[in-house]
Amino acid sequence: MKHVDTTGLRIAYDVHGGGGGVPLVLIHAFPFDRSMWDPQVGVLAGTRRVVAVDLRGFGGSATASDGAMERMAEDVRAVVEAEFLGPSVIGGLSMGGYVAMAYLRKYPMDVAGLVLANTRPGSDTDAARKGRLALIDAVREHGMQAVVDAMFGKMLSPAAYASDDPLVEDVRERMLGARPDGVIAALAGMAVRGDSTDLLTAVAVPTLLIAGTEDTLIPHDDMARMASLIERARLVSLEGAGHLSNLEAPGAFTSAVADFLAGLDA
């Protein structure tokens, strides 16, 4: 594990691989950490550097009370600069996608492409914002069990929960292992995040969208609508996968990203 402190906060990350391909930065979902990319990094790092970052408040990174998506994008930027990555593909799943969009808004000249998985450009509705605030109170009272109670059932496809796939318990354990202070800051940050729809229509970088056909948190139709807004978008739909599509359909997810990256290298 490496770390950088240039934003005044210790941000942990890993660098995998090497080679001449355009670098890839991967940003995890809520409430996970960079280890959620373990199924992807080995394969993708064969031809390029792949950097998996722990957002503030998660994994090996320090926590700050400000969990705004913009601050998280600045932390990612500190890693990109520390590693002299230059223009990179910025990839994120769900909350990681919100941070990737914030990164694009702040540093458009240094984005060679985007991978946006199981995410959405819009800000929270009033109801969603209220839900986040209620969840913050519940986390203060009950810790990470409150997040499991509210969100665990939406992380995978209904079929996964009905099976004895060890991934189900693995996801629950990962959620329980997150830190309440980091989770509270991120919930508050997501609740106030801005709308990035205008950004996606205006900034034409090659974009890979990955959706799970069984995502109950960010429905597939929402991702299809998002694809229609982006000029240079390719939508890959992972049949049967739920919200954490990179964990539920790891091979197909990795292949989609590898194909997209190969197209950019050419």
Q: Which of 95, 226, 236, 256 binds ligand MLT (CB under 6 A)?
A: 95
Binding mask 17-46 for ligand MLT (x = CB under 6 A): ------------xx----------------
Taking the alpha carbons at both ends of the chain, their separation in whole angstroms is 31
| Partner residues linked to 252 by β-bridges | none
d(CA 187, CA 208): 26
CB of 94 to ligand MLT, least distance (A): 3
Q: Under a CB-based contact definition with an 8 Å cutoff, are residues 245 and 117 in contact?
A: yes
H helix or E strand, kind and range, residue 258? helix 250-265
Q: Under a CB-based contact definition with an 8 Å cutoff, are residues 95 and 50 in contact?
A: no
User: Which parts of 206-235 interact with ligand MLT (CB under 6 A)?
Assistant: 217
Looking at the Cβ atoms of 206 and 212, the one nearer to ligand MLT is 212
Q: Count residues near ligand MLT (CB under 6 A).
A: 7
CB of 235 to ligand MLT, least distance (A): 19
CB of 187 to ligand MLT, least distance (A): 8
User: Which parts of 165-194 interact with ligand MLT (CB under 6 A)?
Assistant: 190
Looking at the Cβ atoms of 12 and 190, the one nearer to ligand MLT is 190
**Number of Cβ within a 10 Å radius of residue 46:** 13
* Nearest partner of 88 among 24, 30, 31, 150, judged by Cα: 24
Residues that bind ligand MLT (CB under 6 A): 29-30, 94-95, 190, 217, 243
